[in-house]
Amino acid sequence: MNEMTSPQTAALGGHDNRSRGAVPITVAYGDGIGPEIMEASLRVLTAAGADIAVEQIEIGEKVYLAGQSAGIDPSAWDSLRRTKVFYKAPITTPQGGGFKSLNVTVRKSLGLFANVRPCTAYAPFVATKHPGMDVVVIRENEEDLYAGIEHRQTDEVVQCLKLISRPGCEKIVRYAFEYAKAHGRKKVTCFTKDNIMKLTDGLFHKVFDEIAVDYPDIEAEHWIVDIGAAKLADTPEAFDVVVMPNLYGDVLSDVAAQIAGSVGLAPSANIGLEGAMFEAIHGSAPRRADQDLANPSGLLLAGVMMLVHIGQPKVAEKVHNAWLRTIEDGLHTYDIHAEGVSKEKLGTAAFADAVIARLGQQPTRLAPVRYDASGQGFKLPTVTPKPPAKKELVGIDVFVHWRGEDVEILAETMKKGENGAYSLAMITNRGVKVWPQGLPETFCTDHWRCRFMAGPNKQFNKAMVVEMLHKLTKAGVDFVKTEHLFTFDGEPGYSLGQGQ
């Protein structure tokens, strides 16, 4: 680990609160192992001299079971909005439907667009197959399939909307490059699947290429996420900062944390323009609760990130170095304990005591960390909206619930919606073209997409859409949704059917 590029923290784009006295932070003790590891972490931070004023809120299982489907009491938002800094222990999401993810709600409500997850190996003190690993995964946190917009449309088909926006891509990609610059990191890698999702992942990749140009000193590369993930799991040493859309980031940051040594060690910062949330990446491990067993390191290192964010880098440095020294001294909780490497197996509270006893000490074999004395974060990215493109309606996709087998019959029915200006151009089933000239082998469900296109130089407008739907209703068509097909400055804003 390089002193100047301490992966755990350094500037995250935080605020400078040094002159304002004790910094108010909102703290939630969470469920399962949460209260034990939060108590241990706060004890270490306070012993190191963290100047924080804790406001405690209740979140998680109890709140869910009391009838708040988001797991957070409305009054808790007052504290979060006031302090803008949330130090959060893991919570248990009750089994069964009707409960919304608290994490997703907090991230999206507070606009925490960047999820920063440093994944570092501590070899030889924590077993890992990748001793040189030092990767920071930067995950987009607000968009993608996490918009939570899902529908059942037919007997057989459900859908989830994948939403990717240009401002969303610009914020996260610029954040990744600024993070790399502030930490003296050499390379930013982007993972997408834009060979398949040409518009959504394609936009992420395109914005990455555009923004990379502004950082000539940082190497920029793109991998298709499948082979990129394989390479990350196999040779993590080849990566430095990796930025990706929400879902891939969710999966791959856990993989990266696990192969670095243990999910129990990895912290996570959720950064927004207004606020930030700091937590461990692991969950509430209910089976380990109330036994003084759990490793508080993930949450403690998240606390280190928080201290840098609130402008107390020297306290952060003291805690982090004491923690590295504790790990190096072989004082380990059960999850990372190994015969021959560890000296003593400690419980949660004793581990915290061991870190406190080492405050002021440096590690001697692991590289000590050093944090920017100013505590000032780098400037967070803002987005300047682009001027609107010339948008023209050129067609419409009508999605139909239909249980028949002979697609010619469906085509004949749909043609009843045509007028002289537009006509039925294609029918697909699960994205594969089945009319005209489909293959008999294609498996079809009861969910059909019927594409109407305006002819060359013919106009298509919203009034015609309404008229078409009126005609289709009369023809007995069970349409379940429509999507308008636009061009933007002449470029199609829709994908072709597979086989089209």
CB of 203 to ligand NAD, least distance (A): 28
Write out the two tokens for 464.
Answer: 């015609």
CB of 355 to ligand NAD, least distance (A): 15
CB of 367 to ligand NAD, least distance (A): 24
Dihedral, CA atoms, 431, 432, 437, 442, nearest 10 degrees?
-140
- Which of positions 89-128 make contact with ligand NAD (CB under 6 A)? 90-93, 103
Q: What is the DSSP string of 120-133?
A: E--TTTS--S-TT-
Closest CB to ligand NAD among residues 61, 329: 61
Which of 203, 196, 124 is CA-nearest to residue 365?
A: 124
Task: Walk across the sheet containing 422-429 and list its strands.
Answer: 432-435, 422-429, 447-454, 391-401, 479-488, 491-492
Closest CB to ligand NAD among residues 345, 471: 345
CB of 271 to ligand NAD, least distance (A): 16
CB of 188 to ligand NAD, least distance (A): 26
Q: With contacts defined by CB under 6 A, name the span among 74-82, 199-207, 285-293, 427-435 that binds ligand NAD.
A: 285-293
CB of 33 to ligand NAD, least distance (A): 6
Which of 85, 48, 27 is CA-nearest to residue 377?
A: 85
Mapped onto helix, strand or coil, the DSSP state of residue 420 is coil
- Which of positions 288-307 make contact with ligand NAD (CB under 6 A)? 288, 294-295, 298
CB of 99 to ligand NAD, least distance (A): 9
8 A C-beta contact, residue 306 and residue 276:
yes
8 A C-beta contact, residue 485 and residue 493:
yes
Counting residues that bind ligand NAD (by CB under 6 A) gives: 21
Which of 410, 396, 389 is CA-nearest to residue 468?
A: 396
Q: Is 283 in the site for ligand NAD (CB under 6 A)?
A: yes
Place of tokens 């930067």: 138
Place of tokens 């289709």: 472
Residues 1-40: x/- map of binding to ligand NAD (CB under 6 A)? --------------------------------x---x---
Closest CB to ligand NAD among residues 32, 228: 32
Is there a cis peptide before residue 385, judged by omega within 30 degrees of 0? no
Residues 321-360: x/- map of binding to ligand NAD (CB under 6 A)? --------------x-------------------------
Report the interface residues with ligand NAD, using CB under 6 A. 33, 37, 90-93, 103, 263-264, 279, 282-288, 294-295, 298, 335
